[in-house]
Chain A
Amino acid sequence: MRLQLIALVIAASASAEPLASLDLRSGVYQDSDRTFISTTTVAARGTIKQRLTLEARYLVDVISSASVDVITAATGTFRETRHEVEGALAFHDGTRAANASYVYSIENDWQSHTANLGFSHDLAQHDVTVGAGGTFGYNRVGRAGDPNFHRTLYAAGGMVFATFVLTRRDLLNVSYTLAYLSGYQASPYRYVYFNEASGSRGSVPETDPELRGRHALTARWNHHLFKDSALQSHLRGYADDWGVLSLTAGAEYLVGFGQFTVGAHLRGYVQQHAGFYRPVYQTAMRYMTADRELSSFIDGFGGVRAEWRRAHLGPLAELRAEAKLDGFGFWFFDFPRLQSRNGLIVELAIGASL
């Protein structure tokens, strides 16, 4: 389960909204742990009287995996498909913005309903934007092929942010996100070994705490450089009451060449393991997990992208296309079954506005 986040539309400057737009994006992920994921999303937006925007979005994930988790559980490669749909409504009048959205997601062992609300207001002659939002999610957790296994997971959260126009060339955004999860958060497919008193090795189904409180503090800084380039950077600190601590830092440099924009980006991440995580459990404990995402590790992502935008092409206000390539690596410090993992992500996108 992953955290339900909040959709927030930050009030844009006074630029004309397109009447309608359609965007299609497709990406593939392949890693050395034998996991392949294909993700495609299509989004349609329409604007009424420059103030009200309606959005509908569909996403599909197709996953095929023979990762170390799957093999350890003595099952073969698994394949599954996840469908996600979203409907959203956003309003802005140049000073205030509000938005609401609903997301529904379903796969063979998970069903999710998420509602989001957000609000923002410009202050100090549009030099400062402050905003807040909330999210609530209900998840029904199952097991593949099992009509009788049902667990629930509730998620609720809030976010506050402030965006500052620092100079003609600088924007700074600071946000704090808080989320609480209550319910089943383990994997019904994972078992965890421990050493029995008899000297043999026993195992228990993975057991995580039923409650989890999560906090994230993020700063993002965009700086315009030279004639037509920008440096976007971000820094996030994260902590939760399972004991996970992490730091994320990244930057992207974008340069414009007429209709084209090219960019290069880097992102680094370091995480300390959850308090109840052990690479090897000497005895049976109340909470036991074999989730490598709760272990200590670092990861790095780096890549390039190229974007093309052409305005006023026939009946279209804009036609755009993008290609993106990322490489990544994970290095696990205390996960015996997998020391590292690397891979590639390729994305292609096309969109048009009226």
Chain B
Amino acid sequence: MKWLLMALYFAGCQPGLNDPRDLPALDEPFFRCRVQPVIAKSCATFTCHGDGRRFYRVYARNRLRLGGDETTRNAPLSAQERAANFESAIAMIDPQNPLQSFWLLKPLELAAGGYYHRGAVIFNAGNVFHDRGDPDFQTLNDWVNGAREDPACVEPGSNQ
């Protein structure tokens, strides 16, 4: 038995199995000031991604919040919530094929080359973006393509 296991152990493991993830170096100001308003408007309802049980979760004013109570639900996002939204979106970008990421293509209609999105089916109201010409889809696409924004930009709905 020892011989058997030794023989197989010589197969070895491939390198890099425990490497940290190469998160894409996407622009935080662009996300904060341009992308976040889109996902707050289109993705953050309680029945969609404004739900802590979803794999992709979005914090937004008057929607899902990280702590607080009903009196603070409409307060501007905290730094922690902004960071969580940014990290969640970055994690959903495929570092090898960013333009094929679920985060970008699931909210796009199938006919426009998007991926199947259960949210578009269960509510029977179509997907978030009808086609690639949608200005909000363009915003997300620009971000994934590496667009940058002035770090001093003002996030809509914030108290900056």
Question: Interface on A for B, CB 8 Å cutoff?
Answer: 73-75, 143-149, 191, 193-194, 196-205, 209, 211, 213, 215, 217, 235, 237-243, 245, 247, 274-276, 283-288
Contacts and interface: CB of A to CB of B under 8 A. Distances in A.
Given A145-B121, A148-B105, A191-B55, A217 B20 contact: no
Contacts of B94: 205
A285 B18 contact: yes
Interface of B: 4-5, 7-9, 11-14, 16-23, 53-57, 66, 80-81, 83-84, 87-88, 91-92, 94, 102, 105, 110, 113-116, 118, 121
A188 B87 CA distance: 20
Contacts of B84: 196, 198-200, 202
A146 B23 CA distance: 26
Given A205-B102, A242-B14, A200 B66 contact: yes
A238 B8 contact: yes
B116 A145 contact: yes
Q: Is the interface of A mostly helix, strand, loop or mixed?
A: strand
A191 B103 CA distance: 12
A284 to B, nearest CB: 4
A241 B102 contact: no
A79 B116 CA distance: 17
Given A146-B110, A203-B88, 20 more contacts: A143-B116, A146-B115, A149-B115, A149-B116, A196-B84, A196-B87, A199-B80, A200-B57, A200-B84, A201-B57, A204-B91, A204-B92, A211-B14, A215-B8, A217-B7, A241-B11, A241-B13, A241-B14, A276-B17, A286-B20
A200 B116 contact: no
Contacts of B11: 213, 215, 239-241
Nearest to A218: B4
A287 B13 CA distance: 14
Contacts of A202: 84, 87-88, 91
Nearest to A142: B116
B113 A148 contact: yes
Nearest to A216: B8
A237 B9 CA distance: 10
B85 to A, nearest CB: 9
Contacts of B22: 286
A198 B28 CA distance: 14
A200 B78 CA distance: 13
Given A200-B88, A243-B13, A275 B8 contact: no
Contacts of B8: 215, 217, 237-239, 245
A242 B19 CA distance: 13
A206 to B, nearest CB: 10
Contacts of B53: 74
A308 B130 CA distance: 62
Contacts of B91: 194, 196, 202-204, 284
Contacts of A213: 11, 14
Contacts of A288: 21
Contact of A197 (B54, B83, B116, B121): B83
Closest 10 CB pairs of A and B: A146-B116, A239-B8, A191-B55, A198-B83, A200-B84, A284-B21, A275-B17, A203-B55, A286-B19, A198-B84
